[in-house]
Amino acid sequence: MPDGPTAAAPLHELSVAEAGALLRAGELTSVELARAALDRIARLDPALHAFIRVTEETALERAAAADRELRAGLDRGPLHGVPYALKDIFDAEGVPTTSASRLRDGHLADADSTVERRLRDGGAVGLGKLTTFEFAVGGPSFDLPVPPARNPWSGDHVPSGSSSGSGAAVAAGLVRVTVGSDTSGSTRGPAFHCGAVGLKPTYGRVSGHGVQTLSWTLDHFGPLTWTVGDAAAALRVIAGADPADPRTRTAGAEVPDYTAVLGRGVAGLRVACSPGWYAEDPATLPEIVTGIERALGVLGGLGASVEEVALPPYDVFNACGRVIFAAEAFATHEEDLRRRPREFGRYTYQRVMPGAGVGASDLLRAYDVRRWLRRRLDETVFDRYDVLITVCGQTTAARWGDFPENWPPPKLANDMQTIPFSVTGHPALSLPIGFAADGLPIGLQIVGRAFDEATVFRVAAALEAELGQRHRRPPEPAPGPAPEQRPDDTAVVS
């Protein structure tokens, strides 16, 4: 059995590997894990709003089935008997998929998404659906059918988005494993701002079949978890080619055992860094710059070589991604935008509607620029280096009052620097590395070669071992209602 917590420790602090060892040794049951998680959700989530829906009855049935199988010697993999939750854009048969929108009220999934099916086939125990920005876009809106999730580290701050419930749930210890989507940073952002681990895998590594589309060529799907090891175990289960999603055909049938590389260290690896994107930008917190420098020093001390590289300008990546996003998101929602515009949340409408002005020639030029950027990133970085270390977010989590009535909020223009790798499709992981002076989490971003998530995990695990504070959790929230948006565009937290 691995070192660390035992069955006598709080169950929400057991890693996937630790829980798995106890389950297989008969020292813990999946039902006990599920009940502990459900009890914690019932106690803490009324103040956090991380869950849109908790599927308690189904969870306990699946946990009991996992216990029977493990006792009989049937082992379905690293998540067998382990709880998880899905962002509420993933279909699970018989459960509503609302995308936090009035436009999906009453939508009941008639089949599992591929991600849900693979988790179910792997013996994992689904606890329910997690809060999202409407259709995985929009913002922390107060005009939707469900209240926005709150950041467990401070009720005055948002958990970022759009996988907001995932970030809040993992940080608060409601569940260790969640699966979200990332179109321009929607998994990495909440991970960064909530002090968790968020992976955007290579484009096509994880199937999007049965998931609400936002931007077909930018959408990625991956785990948001408490530790690197948890994310590696989750990706092992959900990754792989899927005939139902043509985006996955380049992924191949073979999925590595990502957990096998976690203890290999970084000696001999070549690491690139790109301070030109962020270090001189006054919008970047000094603690983040210092934290990244410290992480690079750790890697060098562990035997990796570290060199600075000059990347194409960030603004080119950003502009390319924004054009593609605008056009594809508008196309996804065009029928509802024309027929039922008032049923969208205000932020969602304001973010998606500008795509109506993107012409076909604009989109084709953006696709050409994307191909050039992908080629330049490979030539500049991945033909010579194993990973790239760069900034993930430039500031700690925004306050509720930073979001006015209309989008965009002026203070958040360049908060996240995640969109470049959504544009190019390279795997990118947000890793927590400490806390800023305001007590909120900070982190960095590790980017790898296409379909080389294993090396990203390897580097992340080495840094987590040296810099991680996985023992530190946010204070448990006092019960209270969600923040309420006032007419003067300020926000108050009860």
272-306 per-position pLDDT tens digit: 999 999 999 999 999 999 999 999 999 999 999 99
Mean model confidence pLDDT for the chain: 93
Q: Strand pairing of 305-308 and 270-273?
A: parallel
pLDDT in the model for residue 484? 53
* Distance between CA atoms of residues 382 and 396, nearest Å: 29
Instruction: Assess whether pLDDT exceeds 70 at residue 144.
Output: yes
Q: Which residue would you say has higher pLDDT here, 220 or 1? A: 220
State yes or no: is 99 an active-site residue: no
| Contact partners, residue 191, CB within 8 Å, separation at least 6 | 167, 170, 197, 198, 224, 430, 432, 443
Retrieve residue 160's tokens: 């970022």
User: Contact at 8 Å (CB) between 416 and 188?
Assistant: yes
- Give me the mean pLDDT over the 26-41 stretch: 98
Give residue 144's identity as a one-letter amino acid code: L
* Distance between CA atoms of residues 73 and 494, nearest Å: 50
What count of other Cβ atoms lies within 10 Å of the Cβ of residue 478? 9
Retrieve residue 473's tokens: 């959790």
pLDDT in the model for residue 488? 34
229-266 per-position pLDDT tens digit: 999 999 999 999 999 999 998 765 689 999 999 999 99
Which one is catalytic: 186, 207, 422, 430? 186
Cα 17 to Cα 23, 65, 104, 319, 480, distances in angstroms: 10, 20, 37, 41, 34
Q: Which residue would you say has higher pLDDT here, 197 or 415? A: 197
User: Contact at 8 Å (CB) between 12 and 174?
Assistant: yes
Cα Rg for the chain, rounded, in angstroms?
Answer: 21
Closest among 204, 191, 201 to 232, alpha carbons compared: 201
pLDDT in the model for residue 405? 83
Which three-class secondary structure state does DSSP give residue 291? helix
State yes or no: is 163 an active-site residue: no
- Give me the mean pLDDT over the 446-450 stretch: 97
Instruction: Assess whether pLDDT exceeds 60 at residue 359.
Output: yes
- Give me the mean pLDDT over the 8-22 stretch: 94
Retrieve residue 47's tokens: 């103040």
Instruction: Assess whether pLDDT exceeds 50 at residue 493.
Output: no
Retrieve residue 243's tokens: 């005939």
Retrieve residue 298's tokens: 């750790």
pLDDT in the model for residue 3? 43
Strands of the 83-87 sheet, one edge to the other = 51-54, 125-130, 83-87, 177-182, 220-225, 197-200, 428-435, 441-448, 387-390, 270-273, 305-308
Q: Which residue would you say has higher pLDDT here, 51 or 252? A: 51
For the chain, give the percent of residues with pLDDT over 70: 93
- Give me the mean pLDDT over the 384-400 stretch: 96
State yes or no: is 411 an active-site residue: no
Instruction: Assess whether pLDDT exceeds 80 at residue 483.
Output: no
Roughly how many angstroms between the first and final C-alpha of the chain, as a whole number? 44
| Contact partners, residue 411, CB within 8 Å, separation at least 6 | 398, 402
**pLDDT confidence band for 160 (50 / 70 / 90):** very high
Per-domain boundaries in the chain = 11-472+480-492
Helices then strands, each counted (H, E), the chain? 13, 13
Which one is catalytic: 162, 164, 181, 422? 162
Torsion over CA of 192, 196, 141 and 104, rounded to 10 degrees? Answer: 130
Instruction: Assess whether pLDDT exceeds 60 at residue 137.
Output: yes
- Give me the mean pLDDT over the 324-346 stretch: 97
Instruction: Assess whether pLDDT exceeds 80 at residue 482.
Output: no
- Is residue 13 packed enough to be buried (19+ CB in 10 Å), middle (13-18) or exposed (0-12)? middle
Instruction: Assess whether pLDDT exceeds 80 at residue 414.
Output: no
Instruction: Assess whether pLDDT exceeds 80 at residue 4.
Output: no
Determine the topology of domain 11-472+480-492 in CATH.
Amidase signature (AS) enzymes (3.90.1300)
User: Contact at 8 Å (CB) between 227 and 235?
Assistant: no
For 479, which DSSP code? Answer: P
pLDDT in the model for residue 487? 32
Which one is catalytic: 87, 154, 160, 184? 87
